[in-house]
Amino acid sequence: MTVAVFFGCAFIAFGPAFALFIFTIARDPLRVIILIAGAFFWLLSLLLSSLVWFIAVKASNADDAKLQKGLLVFGVVFSVLIQEVFRFTYYRLLRKATEGLVAISDEETAPISVQQMAYVAGLGFGIMSGAFSMINILSDSLGPGTVGIFGDSQYYFITSALMTLAMTLLHTFWGVVFFEGCEKSRWWVIVVVVCLHLLVSSLSLLNPLYEGSLPPVYVVTAAMAVWAFFSSGGSLNNLSQLCTRKRTEAASS
């Protein structure tokens, strides 16, 4: 049973991200480089957040329960803000390196666009974020032990996998919208992305009240998916043409 839980949760948490990587990134070396660099920038933000968290814990009274809760909230807020700072830094780095990226790209293909870089960079952020939030949980799912034997929720692993999936996708959508806001100097877009990131991360503090955290997170995920679609140049006309083409292909076959 533990092996089934392990693979089931792993496929839920990382299956969509793995599919996106295989079908949209893996065959393009330049996109792979951008994705790995994005994951590295997220790791740098985690390193800085961990350093500040370590100093804050050492400087505080660990026996005070209220202080511990306050430190937890502080850690969440600071981590979100530093992640967005590193996302902006990575955007600036990619924009400055655009000419170099075009020069080393395949001459037979079109140069990578800002929207494509935003998508790949966001997926890099999301994959690394999901890996760090889920790897220890997957390790625990292999046992020994039984979840819920002492009255705790039996849905801990599945809800953790669903939350990891949402965060991975959200980082991808946030990357697209964030880069679009930077490109067009729409600073309110960046503020909205940061606020939504803070909201989603704060909702995770409600756990184990999963009914209060998961539904709102997936509402935000759906809304960001629509926003990212239109920000990347999508339109209702594109969807209509896609549906028409599929019906034509089905009829001809």
Residue matched to tokens 């968290």: 53
Q: Residues 112, 31: contact at Cβ < 8 Å?
A: yes
Instruction: Report the C-alpha gap between 214 and 221 in whole angstroms.
Output: 10
Q: How much is the pLDDT for 231?
A: 87
State both tokens at 119.
């998508």
Q: Give the C-alpha separation, 35 to 24, whole Å.
A: 11
pLDDT tens string 86-122: 999 999 998 888 766 666 655 555 567 888 899 999 9
Beta-carbon contacts of 9 under 8 Å, excluding residues fewer than 6 positions away, are: 134, 137, 138, 141, 157, 158, 160, 161
pLDDT, average across residues 4-16: 89
Distance CA 57, CA 110 (A): 50
List the one residue out of 124, 128, 133 whose CA is nearest residue 204: 133
- State which H helix or E strand residue 72 sits in: helix 65-96
Q: What share of the chain is helix, strand, coil (3-state, %, to 5)?
A: 80, 0, 20
DSSP output for 101-164:
HHHHS-TTSPPPPHHHHHHHHHHHHHHHHHHHHHHHHHHHHTSSS-TTTTS--TTHHHHHHHHH
Residue 55 vs residue 174, higher pLDDT: 174
Q: What is the pLDDT of residue 36?
A: 94
Please count the CA atoms within 13 angstroms of the CA of 118 that sit on its side-chain side: 21
For residue 19, the model assigns a pLDDT of 94
Distance (Å, rounded) from C-alpha 204 to C-alpha 159?
11
User: What tens digit of pLDDT does each residue of 14-39 get?
Assistant: 999 999 999 999 998 889 999 999 99
In the chain, what are the domain boundaries? 1-252
Torsion region of 129: left, alpha or beta (phi above 0 gives left; psi -120 to 50 gives alpha): alpha
User: Looking at residue 242, what is its pLDDT?
Assistant: 63
Total Cβ atoms within 10 A of residue 105: 16
Higher confidence at residue 163 or residue 245? 163
Q: φ and ψ at 148, to 5 degrees? A: 90, 5
pLDDT, tens digit (0-9, with 9 covering 90-100), for 50-89: 998 888 888 776 566 666 777 888 888 999 999 999 999 9
Top pLDDT among 108 and 189 is at 189
User: What percent of the chain clears pLDDT 90, i.e. is strictly above it?
Assistant: 47
* Cα dihedral across residues 146, 150, 154, 158: positive or negative: negative
> 209 or 151: which carries more pLDDT confidence?
209
pTM reported for the whole predicted model = 0.88
